[in-house]
């Protein structure tokens, strides 16, 4: 395949940034999108030009690092991560526009790399459980109904990629935050900090500058893990009940 790439280049957060055009020839449709970018970077390096900076780690769809905005969609035309996107999703002669996530809470570090530290700080605010150290408990010690276990697991599959924020016209982080609150709120192990967790994680989400949710559903439609909007409804219940009971104390 022969392709034209329009790639966002930005030296640092203070730089205005602009698109650069590159042409690539002989790209295999079996390559992943990131392998195609590797080819571009090899060519740039051979010409002593600065390679395009982009994030990646696992290349297996589990770390959430490969956050690219491709042809106007987070992670491109398929509902998957960029590392699991293959060039067979494009046609010979295509022009592909590649940008970083666009959200003020995710400032650009360089080129296509953004700082998603805001997500880490939301997790630090309450996305954990208190456990006693010691031996590993028996897996069947705390029986959990299958439906609850499945729902908690589905919420736990969120990989923190940020596509929900990038897809949302308000740059809302409610799908991410609600998945992280839900996975713990549904399980017995998550009950100890349940109220504080909902209050503190929502407060941190707001402090980071993410927008409000207006129920367009773009987040869930683009989420590579199919995280459901029901998690947002659950987070709202968790939050309001926590706030209400705090005020009664
Ligand atoms: S909810 Fe989905 S889109 Fe948002 S961070 Fe988690 S996996 Fe990514
Ligand atoms: S590189 Fe880890 S999810 Fe894509």
- Nearest-angstrom CA–CA distance, 136 and 121: 28
- Nearest-angstrom CA–CA distance, 204 and 120: 10
pLDDT at 248: 55
**SS3 at position 13:** coil
Q: Are 165 and 118 in contact (CB under 8 A)?
A: no
pLDDT at 75: 98
Distance (Å) from CA 61 to ligand 1 centroid: 12
> Which mutation among 81, 117, 179 tests ligand 1's pocket best, with the greatest number of atoms within 8 A of CB?
179
Structure tokens at 9: 């280049």
Distance (Å) from CA 224 to ligand 2 centroid: 11
> Which mutation among 154, 170, 220, 224 tests ligand 1's pocket best, with the greatest number of atoms within 8 A of CB?
224
Structure tokens at 122: 């939301």
Residue spans per domain, the chain: 3-110, 116-248
**SS3 at position 233:** helix
pLDDT at 247: 64
* pLDDT averaged per 10 residues, the chain (length 249): 98 97 98 98 98 97 96 97 98 98 96 98 94 80 93 97 97 98 95 95 97 96 97 97 79
Query: 247 Cβ partners below 8 Å, 6+ apart?
Result: none
pLDDT at 133: 76
Structure tokens at 22: 């590159």
- CATH number for the segment(s) 3-110: 3.10.20.30
Distance (Å) from CA 159 to ligand 1 centroid: 6
Distance (Å) from CA 85 to ligand 1 centroid: 16
Structure tokens at 119: 């997500």
Please give the CATH superfamily to which domain 116-248 belongs: Alpha-helical ferredoxin (1.10.1060.10)
- Closest ligand to 226 CA? 1
Note the pTM of the prediction, 2 decimals. Answer: 0.94
pLDDT at 141: 85
């Amino acid at each position: 395949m022969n392709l034209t790439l329009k790639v966002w280049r930005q030296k640092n957060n203070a730089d205005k940034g602009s698109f650069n055009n590159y042409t690539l020839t002989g790209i295999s449709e079996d390559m992943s999108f990131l392998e195609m970018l590797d080819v571009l970077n090899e060519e740039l390096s051979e010409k002593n030009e600065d390679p395009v900076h982009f994030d990646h780690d696992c290349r297996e769809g589990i770390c959430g690092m490969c956050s690219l905005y491709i042809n106007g969609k987070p992670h491109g035309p398929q509902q998957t991560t960029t590392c699991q996107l293959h060039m067979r999703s494009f046609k010979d002669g295509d022009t592909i526009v590649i940008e970083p996530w666009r959200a003020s809470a995710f400032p650009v570090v360089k080129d296509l790399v953004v700082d998603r530290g805001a997500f880490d700080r939301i997790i630090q605010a309450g996305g954990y459980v208190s456990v006693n150290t010691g031996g590993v408990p028996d897996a069947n010690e705390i029986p959990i109904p299958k439906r609850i276990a499945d729902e908690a697991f589905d919420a736990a599959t969120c990989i923190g990629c940020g596509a929900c924020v990038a897809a949302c016209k308000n740059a809302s982080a409610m799908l991410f935050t609600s998945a992280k609150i839900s996975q713990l709120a549904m399980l017995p192990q998550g009950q100890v900090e349940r109220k504080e967790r909902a209050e503190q994680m929502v407060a941190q989400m707001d402090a980071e500058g993410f927008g409000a949710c207006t129920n367009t559903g773009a987040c869930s439609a683009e989420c590579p893990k199919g995280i459901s909007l029901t998690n947002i409804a659950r987070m709202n219940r968790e939050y309001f009940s926590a706030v209400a009971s705090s005020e009664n104390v």
